[in-house]
Structure 1
Amino acid sequence: MQRLKTRPQFQAALAGGTVSRTPHFALHRMTLVSPVAVVSESPLTTVPVLSSEQALFGAFDVWLGAMVPKKWARRAVTRNTIKRQIYNVSAHFADALPCAAHVVRLRAGFDRKQFISATSDVLKAAVRNELEQLFSHAVATNPKPRALAS
């Protein structure tokens, strides 16, 4: 699994559309297609053809990014905790996710009255539970194509 790093990568993945939602998170996905080989004038050389969005991603792999805005998580400790949970949970679903660019976006804040501490076991459990629902729904709606048996 690769991580999204640049702004254009995040923008391309967000433009792909929303695949799954929970009360606090949204998962956006831009499906990557494998490069199409086009035969050039010489029959011995082939050139892969990529769209401009595809060119942002060097490898045909699962890509993931996390967006946790200050608007919804004011403290840096909380933002970092949520990002760690996103990357940890996504690692468990990496084999089931299709080759695409994914962005997990925090779309609502966790209630500070319920989660008093900036980072606590209760908050981590709540985030983890919701992220597991998010990824489970995303995998169920778009399963990976299985390899044909020979």
Structure 2
Amino acid sequence: MIGKLQRPVDFERVLGHQSRARSAHFALHHLPASPAPSAWHAAKLRTAQAELSTGGPASVHNPVDDVPPAPQGCWVGMVVPKRHARRSVTRQLLKRQIRAAFAERPGMPPGMWVVRLRSPFDRQKFPSAASDALRQAARAELAQLLDRALKPRVETRAELAPQAKPTP
């Protein structure tokens, strides 16, 4: 199941990392982590702990070497700014295409994914705000973007070459 990112904190965390793949119009960011718990969930946990009938809260000792649990699901966020898609019809069309592109790929790695529209589609080529041509172009570009993001990264020669030590 694919969840929906909604909190600004989660978007900031994901967008703070370098993009995993780019295309002419989109950038894809990924962070292998779970979204932060909502304020409602945190408040519910606090009230549940305060209502213990056995006295004060039990002290829990966590080992130092505990690693946070791996993310269990896939969450998708979309950033489609008004400066790149002026009409709301176009913004909604692009968001639907992003959701559909992720829904077509059930084997996505878990974590938080954010797709960001980074440049506008040409208005001369796509004059209608919600044309079939725009829908097909966006879907094809998103499919290529996800394919590129899921390919294993090939290291370049510069990265593989040993670093030369400076001579004193």
TM-score (norm 2): 0.68
In the other structure, the counterpart of 2:112 is 101
Deviation at 1:17, TM superposition (A): 2.1
Residue 12 of structure 1 is matched in structure 2 by: 13
Aligned residues: 124
Cα separation, 2, equivalents of 1:41 and 1:21: 44
Q: Give 4+ residue runs of structure 1 displaced > 4 Å after superposition.
A: 48-51
Code of the aligned partner of 2:148: H
Q: What is the Cα-based RMSD across aligned positions, in Å?
A: 2.3
Would the alpha carbon gap of residues 77 and 41 (structure 1) be closer, same or farther in structure 2, given more than 3 Å must change?
closer
Question: Aligned ranges for residues 45-56 of structure 1 at < 5 Å?
Answer: 50=68
Whose strand fraction is larger, Structure 1's or Structure 2's? 1
What per-residue deviation string (whole Å, max 9, x for no partner) do you get for residues 49-92 of structure 1?
A: 649xx9xxxx6211111110001000000000000000001111
Which residue identity does 1:128 align to in structure 2?
A: R
Cα displacement (A) at 1:41? 4.7
Aligned to 2:76: 64
Aligned match of 1:21: 22
- 1:126 Cα deviation after fit: 0.4
Please give the TM-score of this superposition, normalised by the length of structure 1. 0.75
State which of 89, 99, 113 in structure 2 corresponds to 1:87: 99
Task: State the match for 2:86 in structure 1.
Answer: 74
| Separation in structure 2 between the aligned mates of residue 138 and residue 72 of structure 1, nearest angstrom | 23
Amino acid in the other structure paired with 1:131: L
